[in-house]
Amino acid sequence: MTDVRLPDELRSQVRQALAEGRLLAFSGAGISAESGVPTFRGPEGMWKNRRPEDLATPEAFRRDPKAVWEWYSWRRRRVAMCEPNQAHLALARWALAGGLRVVTQNVDGLHDRALDLARLEDGDTDHGTSGAPGPASDTSGAPSRRPPRGHAEPVRLHGSLFRTRCTDCQVEEPYPIGRETGALPTCPTCHATLRPAVVWFGEALAASDLERSFEWASEARVTLSIGTSAVVFPASQIPFTTLAAGGTVIEINPAATPLTEHADFHVRASAAAAVPAVLGSRPSGVSGSDPA
Ligand code: OAD
């Protein structure tokens, strides 16, 4: 069995970061691998038999919107059959308790679905936005007050498979599974073609998302870089921002990446095994079985 334990010094840093709400989880495709979502790179990766320039650029969409939508429809269906795993769930529970924040490069929505599940576990059936403080914590190290609603939402740096953006009026809307008709989707307002609301190669990331992510990275006492090959700029700079600000970076990935030699520690294990172990016992007030 893979060893997912941290040295004592790092364990106490993680505990302290969670207690202060200064832990940042930065995730990539590998966190969803055990849910059944294919990664991009590597022997089984989606870029093995496909070229990003044919499917994930604005030029590709202008050239052949149907081919691009077919690929995205396949990915939407594939992801819709997957469930969040123990890594998504452990992060969601701690995010809900105010211990950490999540920045993801993933467009699969599994962090959001884990958050919904964690809210249900927590007996929170009110999906309102009251921002009311939660119950006081006990000795688990969780912050004593629930953060305002919205704090737990991940920053989705590369967008979402389940949203569209109009190619003309730019309006962005939810695009839940089952909406497809086989024809190219069109904007209900201006009737122009809709595109997936994801960031393609050659496009800029939303400035507000980037700003927030780098701010969180520089405030973080500990950043966990989870399941990312750490090669796609500018997201790949997030852990380096934490390091430059004097914080600690722990990488969770079965393989080495360009980040590995800079990180303070490399947990060479899968996300579903390592993330719950690294975060330790679940925050108080969230029920269910204990993490492995
Ligand atoms: P990659 O496919 O580049 O990298 C996935 C990483 O996950 C690899 O380093 C694997 O070793 C690791 N991995 C695989 N299984 C794992 C597991 N069970 N637990 C933990 N780690 C595991 O995916 P990203 O780094 O997310 O961009 O790729 C970054 C961006 O490149 C994506 O957001 C996408 C892609 O092209 C856009 O679409 C703009």
Per-residue pLDDT of the chain (292 residues; tens, 9 = 90+): 567 889 999 999 999 999 999 999 999 999 999 999 999 888 778 878 888 888 899 999 999 999 999 999 999 999 999 999 999 999 999 999 999 999 999 999 999 999 999 999 988 765 533 322 233 333 344 444 556 666 799 999 999 999 999 999 999 999 999 888 889 999 999 999 999 999 999 999 999 999 999 999 999 999 999 999 999 999 999 999 999 999 999 999 999 999 999 999 999 999 999 999 999 877 875 544 433 3
Q: For a substitution probing ligand 1, which of 26, 27, 31, 40 has the most ligand atoms within 8 Å of its CB?
A: 40
E strands within the chain?
23-27, 100-104, 155-156, 159-166, 172-174, 194-198, 222-226, 248-252, 265-267
Instruction: Please identify which residue in the block is written with the tokens 């929505």.
Output: 109
Assessment of whether the complete model's pTM goes beyond 0.85 = yes
Looking at residue 243, its pLDDT comes to 98
- The pair of three-digit structure tokens given for residue 234, joined into one six-digit string: 């500018």
Query: What CA dihedral angle connects 130, 135, 140 and 142, to 10 degrees?
Result: 30
Q: What would the DSSP string read from start to end of 143-177?
A: -SSPPPTTTTSPEETTEEEEEEEETTT--EEE--T
Tell me the best of 232, 266, 268 to mutate to test the pocket of ligand 1, counting ligand atoms within 8 Å of each CB and taking the most.
232
CA of 38 to the centre of ligand 1 (A): 9
pLDDT of 147: 62
Token duo for residue 82: 């997957």
Query: Is residue 111 within 8 Å of 61, Cβ to Cβ?
Result: no
Q: Nearest residue CA, atom 14 of ligand 1?
A: 30
Residues marked as catalytic: 158
Q: Give the model's pLDDT for residue 5.
A: 85
Closest CA to 151 of 164, 133, 168: 133
pLDDT of the residue at 130: 30
- Per DSSP bridges, beta strands 159-166 and 172-174 are antiparallel
Q: First CA to last CA across the chain, in angstroms?
A: 12
Sign, CA torsion 140/11/112/190: positive
